[in-house]
Structure 1
Amino acid sequence: MADRAGVKVLVAGAGISGRAAAAFCLAQKMQVTIADDTPLEALGEIVADLVKAGAEFVSPLERAGTDFDLCVLSPGISIGDERVKALVSAGVEVISELELAAREIATPIVAITGTNGKTTVTELTGAMLKASGRRVFVGGNVGTPLIEAAGGQFDSIVAEVSSFQLEGCSTFKPKVAVWLNLTGDHLDRHGNLIEYAKAKAKIFANQGAEEVAIVNRDDDAVWEASKVSGGTVLPYSTERILGVGAWLEGDDVVILMPGTDGVRLDARALALKGLHNLGNAMAATLAAASLGVKPKDAWGAVKTFKGLPHRLEEFLKWRGITFIDDSKATNVDAAVRAMDTVEGRIILLAGGKDKGADYSPMRAALTKRGVLAVIVGPSSERMAKELEGSAPIERASNWSEAVATGIGAAKAGDTVLLAPAASSFDFFKNYVERGEVFQQLCKEETKRMEVSA
């Protein structure tokens, strides 16, 4: 944006990204209105401070009207919301915080999306770039909003980007765009898998010859979508040998960048568990290599990268039972991957807010290794019905009851696994809180059982 002073901006939604966008726009002397369906007094000090700094606040969103030049839409509000449609009809440009940030940032951006694994790949790519001595900003959909990188002194930016953010983009053109996978998720928001895929595909839409698209060759939908990119396409695979990109040969990961002879790396060096995480490491290595890091140097980071909280996090061993928190498994595909990755027989704890997914793909893993599935929350009735006949199923009224039931059924050698296959917004503010509560409940229940033994 050139002359920003006096530009009338509506920031729709006062969440983390909305607050960051409002702060940036205020600093640029724009006329800022913040609108949220939650009253001001319930939004906390940060929003109150933005109002003190000159922003106007209105609630609910429809009271803001349409007299604006620009609307920065928070990811929690759909671009299909009738109130947003009214803004578009009135000639207001509606963009996401991601699009706002991209317009302000000249530093090369690595943007990473996918139904599953994007946070892990974002953090791992950041670790690889930092290890090379670069000044790196890591943020986006998780952590620090991308707009906070505007004006910063960085050599590289690594951003996790979601479908909610991408649907509000029109000019976003990352130097490196990474798309990991596509499975049914957020169908309650997008309506169907086709619309979900269209939103994701915007990550490639504006790429030209100077950009790079990194894609999972084992995901047909992602591979097909990469044809939208006008840049260099680098595939990776854990299932087939490729002529360029990254692939698995025995215990070796082969990285072959265009114009090079390629390099072989030790797949066994990966600290993270699971074949899917080997694919994630390949994607991160290709991303780092696309910005000039030698693949061998980038691969060094996989030896020490232990993963992130609430992602296949082993947090407790008790009486030979392993406890794993995969609260981030908020969809069916992630839950299946978790069950395929962990060892031993499984006591699965699942459920949460229903996102409209088909739960039947979980049946095979449960049939093979499931001792018991304990299901909680609004999704429990439909999930239990769709998983019937796979493993014994019990429904619990709350997570405390679910944990007690699950631990009571576990024996030495078993794994108590939280892999909800649903969002956390039934009882919790996010998956982090759900994971923290799960871990605490497990520790309390095992301690109680020790005392009563």
Structure 2
Amino acid sequence: MKERIIILGAGESGTGAALLAKAKGYDVFVSDFGVISEGNKASLYQAEVSFEEGKHTEDLILNAYKIIKSPGIAPNVEIVKKALGKNIPVIDELEFAFGFTKGKIIAITGTNGKSTTTMLTYHLLKEAGLSVGLGGNIGKSMAGQLVDIDFDWWVLECSSFQIDGFVNFKPHIAILLNITPDHLDRYDYKVENYVASKFSLFKNQGKEDFALLYTEDKLIHDYQVKHPFSSKLLEFKFEDIPYEGAYANPSGIIVNLDKQRHTFSQDLLTIKGKHNQTNAMASILTAKLTKIKNDKISESLPKFKSIQHRLESVGNIHGIEFINDSKATNVDAVYYALDAFTRPIIWIVGGVDKGNDYSQLDAVSTNVKAIICLGKDNEKIKEHFKSRCPIIEETQSMQDAVEMGYKLSKDREVVLLSPACASFDLFKNYEDRGNQFRLAFQLLEREIELKKLSQ
């Protein structure tokens, strides 16, 4: 009799896991409490995978050999609690996929910067001609890709929710970029639980593996000192020069590895700001661990394009640069964004507040010359910044926000969408918010061009 695998959630990861499980001969059933997209339904139909939507039928779920859960489904959801109560293993899609790859894993986590570091690392390996796949919390499902192809290397963005579903998952190179309190509702509102979740990425590593840590982050440093692990620690930092690892100074990023020193000019980086130097240190250090030569890394770095919705330049109008940072849904991410610019900023901020403490931004908001609040409830933002910023405007329209930004700015200044908040009051998600920002910019650009032609 075939072992029965249940997939909870039919998004990208769940559908991919279902397709791989079916291809490997399991009895597969998919259950999604919401609505399954038409594209994913078509994939399940084609693979002859049974599914339900709009409900979780216990009789069809709680007879499972194993459950693969979407990272977005909290462990305290009733059907998950009942499965755990019956000692049914509940794992993540990446944990399942790991059992079917012969490739080496590069796993990247952190509160902020995961996507940029994942994409840059993948870019460097891909440009060097390595056999490399991309997956995890970005791009296509690793499990879904494994139905047709495997790679020598997999670069995976891993959220804490995904890491919580790891049992045997073992990255050859594991990277921890930073930790700031986030998603604490999933961790009993205890930051120490969230930190422990991040660090469990390293739990299965051995002495032949590598742990890359930004140890100038106090939460990372303090936890690592008290909880040493088996893999080889490589640090990346700014203040001190590590014996082995990477560091950055104004002239470049330097990697110390195997008693050799490798230097890469800051001019090669297309991503700006101190936080992106941290991301670049992690990516370049990883590239060196995969034996990529310096000249190939130096050739590849200038070709890298920033990911969408993360400090993404959408264009210039009369020397005014419009930056889409819609992915900055917490205060810490906005701190990095504001810190990345020395030019005056017109800052578009707001949305669904996540318990934000805006005082954390006081040190980096001194070059904000105007604030445009974009959200249904902006009182908290206005109250905090009313004595710090001379101009505070308010709107619930992205088009109005972009036009206001243009009118309030002048040459060499920046109109920055970096919301610090979730998007669900006015938009479908942060991608929709960022796309609407880009569209509003394009409409404004066209309107200005038409006026110019008519004169």
- Cα deviation digits, residues 65-123 of structure 1 (max 9, x gap): 42211111111111232321111011211001111112222211000111111111112
> What is the TM-score when the length of structure 2 is the normalising length?
0.90
How large is the Cα RMSD of the aligned pairs? 2.3
Cα distance in 2 for residues equivalent to 1:434 and 1:131? 31
Structure 1: segments with no counterpart, 5+ residues: none
TM-score by length of 1: 0.91
Shifted more, 429-438 versus 6-15: the winner is 429-438
SS at match of 2:212: strand
Q: Paired residue for 1:293?
A: 292
Offset of residue 48 of structure 1: 4.3
Number of the residue aligned with 2:308:
309
How far apart in 1 are the matches of 2:135 and 2:75? 23
CA gap of 1:91–1:51, structure 2 versus 1, over 3 A, is farther
Alignment of 1:7-406 (within 5 A): 7-39=3-35, 43-51=37-45, 53-65=47-59, 66-150=62-146, 152-190=149-187, 191-226=189-224, 227-257=227-257, 259-295=258-294, 297-366=296-365, 368-377=366-375, 380-391=378-389, 392-406=391-405
Aligned counterparts of 1:256 and 1:214: Cα–Cα separation in 2:
13
* 1:21, distance to aligned residue in structure 2 (A): 0.8
Question: Identity across aligned pairs (percent)?
Answer: 34
Query: Which string of whole-angstrom CA distances, capped at 9 and with x for unpartnered residues, describes residues 325-367 of structure 1?
Result: 112222212211111112421111112233333232123322x
Q: Which residue of 1 aligns with 2:426?
A: 427
User: After the TM superposition, which of the residue ranges 111-120 and 403-412 deviates more from structure 2?
Assistant: 403-412
1: CA distance between counterparts of 2:407 and 2:104? 52
Q: Secondary structure at the match of 1:79?
A: coil
Give the distance between the partners of 1:415 and 1:54, measured in 2 at CA.
51
Contact 1:346 1:371 in 2 (8 A): yes
Distance 1:327 1:384, change over 3 A: same
State whether residues 101 and 150 of structure 2, in contact with CA within 8 Å, keep that contact through their aligned partners in structure 1: no
Q: Is the 8 A contact 2:135 2:156 kept in 1?
A: yes
Closer/same/farther in 2, CA of residues 61 and 230 from structure 1, 3 Å limit:
farther
Contact 2:242–2:256 under 8 Å retained in 1: no
1:73–1:363: structure 2 CA closer, same or farther, 3 Å change rule? same
Distance 1:23 1:36 in 2: 15
Distance 1:182 1:379, change over 3 A: farther
Check conservation: 1:58, 1:64, Cα contact below 8 A.
no
Match of 1:408, as an amino acid? K
CA contact (8 A) 2:329 2:420 kept: yes
Aligned to 1:383, the other structure's residue is in SS state helix
Q: Which amino acid aligns with 1:128?
A: L
Partners of 2:16 and 2:145 within 8 A in 1 = no
SS in 2 for 1:268: helix
Output the CA distance in 1 between the equivalents of 2:119 and 2:272.
Answer: 16
CA distance in 1, matches of 2:33, 2:100: 28
Q: How far is 1:447 from its partner?
A: 4.0
Q: Which residue type is aligned with residue 256 of structure 2?
A: L
For 1:329 and 1:309, locate their aligned partners in 2 and report how far apart those are by CA, in whole Å.
11
**Structure 2 Cα separation of the partners of residues 379 and 286 of structure 1:** 43
Count of residue pairs brought into register by the alignment: 445
Give the 3-state SS of the residue equivalent to 2:434 in structure 1. Answer: helix
Question: Per-residue displacement from partner, 1:295-314 (whole Å, max 9, x unpaired)?
Answer: 55434422322322222222
CA contact (8 A) 1:120 1:308 kept: yes
Structure-to-structure mapping, 1:404-443, within 5 angstroms: 404-443=403-442
Q: Which moved more, 1:382-391 or 1:116-125?
A: 382-391
Q: Distance in 2 between matches of 1:125 and 1:299?
A: 13
Query: Offset at 1:22?
Result: 1.0
Letter in 2 for 1:273: K
Deviation at 1:268, TM superposition (A): 3.0
Structure 2 CA distance for aligned equivalents of residues 143 and 374 of structure 1? 32
Q: Structure 1 counterpart of 2:202, which letter?
A: F
Matched AA of 1:163: S
Separation (CA, whole Å) in 1 of partners of 2:55 and 2:221? 39
Comparing 428-437 with 169-178, greater Cα deviation is found at 428-437
CA distance, structure 2, for counterparts of residue 127 and residue 49 of structure 1: 28
Opposite residue 213 of structure 1, the aligned amino acid is A
Question: Could you say if the C-alpha distance between residues 19 and 381 of structure 1 is closer, same or farther in structure 2, counting changes exceeding 3 Å?
Answer: farther
Measured in 1, the distance between the counterparts of 2:44 and 2:285 equals: 40
Task: Kindly provide the amino acid, as one letter, of the partner of residue 335 in structure 1.
Answer: V
Secondary structure of the residue aligned to 1:199 is: helix
Distance 1:26 1:153 in 2: 17
CA distance in 1, matches of 2:314, 2:275: 21
Deviation (angstroms), 1:286 = 1.3
- Gap change, CA 1:266 and 1:330, over 3 Å in 2: same
Over residues 235-260 of structure 1, what are the superposed CA-to-partner deviations in whole Å (9 max), with x where a residue is unaligned?
A: 01123222221113451422111x32
